[in-house]
Amino acid sequence: MSRKALIIGSLGQVGRELSSNLALKLGYENVLSTDVKSDPDYEGRFEILDCLDEPALRDLVQRESITEVYHLAALLSATAEQNIDFAWKLSVNGLFNVLNLAKDGLIEKIFWPSSIAVFGPNTPRHQTPQSTIIEPTTVYGIGKQAGEQWCNYYHKRFGVDVRSVRYPGLIGWKSLPGGGTTDYAVDIFYSALKGERFNCFLNEDTFLPMMHMEDAIRATLAIMEQDASNIKIRNSYNISAMSFSPKTLAEELRKHFPNFEIEYKPDFRQEIASSWPSSIDDAQARTDWGWKEQYGLSELVQNMIENLKLQVQA
Ligand code: AKB
């Protein structure tokens, strides 16, 4: 049977890039993007869908003969702190609705992203192991922790083929993130290109795990293409590419913009960032399904600058 993908939360930072990559792989007609709002400039097949509206979700999946769902809808860490009730409802009820589609035999496979936010201040900070203390202190992290446990439970109890990775901070040039604690690492490029001083909401030595968006999309496609027998972890896999602080990123940017200036004004997001790992051990993903990143810090910075310059010129 041919693959037919539904993406929930297509207008977010990951969704926009995933949908075009999936369309290249599966064919334009085999990818249906959805979100709660529409974007008149969106390229691709699109429908408005609220994943909390279970009958509408079920109806769409049946009408379109969907075989796999990429469930990306979530409020990111900083926004979730301002809207606790909705963040929890979206992260847990939305996931339940999708897991139940697979339990009832309507779809074959699910991708649901977790995050480094699942870890907390009691987790070992450096080279955080796959299996370790999970005591998140953010609303977003608590939602991801619950989601991971539900994925594992649905797999063990009902045989649901759900696959997941813990995304680090994601940096891409095609779309802007919104509401995350790692977003500074995208915003900083726009200031550097405009020749403006950058006000950073984290302090200079806050090391966090980060990844180029292209690598994140490759990981997502790769885990979904694996034979199910290779997916040994059904809560979520650690994946990693690099780790840097605002200061190391600014130093790398100065190789391209020698006059670039940065000022540090930590706000409430500092506490969130300080509760997360600084680097991640992803040996299990490398062993089980061959995960390997393509971008390190210097390649990421070079690639971001080249592409954002082209965008500005266009
Ligand atoms: C955020 O900062 O909230 C996200 C994440 C690490 O999941 N980028």
pLDDT in tens, 28-61: 999 999 999 999 999 899 999 999 999 999 999 9
* pLDDT one-digit tens code per residue, 72-85: 999 999 999 999 99
Ligand 1 atom closest to Cα of residue 167: 7
Rounded Cα distance between 213 and 177, Å, is 11
Residues 239-251 have a mean pLDDT of 98
pLDDT digits (tens, 9 = 90+) for 215-227: 999 999 999 999 9
> Which of 28, 131, 157, 139 has its CA nearest to residue 88?
139
Most ligand 1 atoms within 8 A of CB, residue of 112, 114, 167 to mutate: 167
Q: Give Cα 298 to chain centroid, integer Å.
A: 21
Residue written as tokens 């605002």? 246
CATH number of the structural domain 170-210+241-313: 3.90.25.10
3-state SS, residue 160? coil
Helix (H) or strand (E) run with residue 189 in it: helix 184-194
Architecture of domain 5-169+213-238: 3-Layer(aba) Sandwich (3.40)
Give the C-alpha separation, 263 to 244, whole Å.
17
* Other beta carbons less than 10 A from residue 73's beta carbon: 24
Burial of 159 (0-12, 13-18, 19+ CB in 10 A): exposed
pLDDT, one tens digit per residue, over 263-313 is: 999 999 999 999 999 999 999 999 999 999 999 999 999 999 999 999 877
Ligand 1 mean position, distance from CA 110 (Å): 21
- Smallest CA separation from ligand 1 atom 7, residue: 115
The domains of the chain are located at 5-169+213-238, 170-210+241-313
Closest residue (by CA) to atom 1 of ligand 1? 180
Q: Distance from the CA of 222 to the center of ligand 1, in angstroms? A: 21
The residues that are catalytic are 140
pLDDT of residue 1: 65
The binding-site residues of ligand 1, defined as CB within 6 angstroms of any ligand atom, are: 76-77, 115-117, 140, 167, 169, 180-182
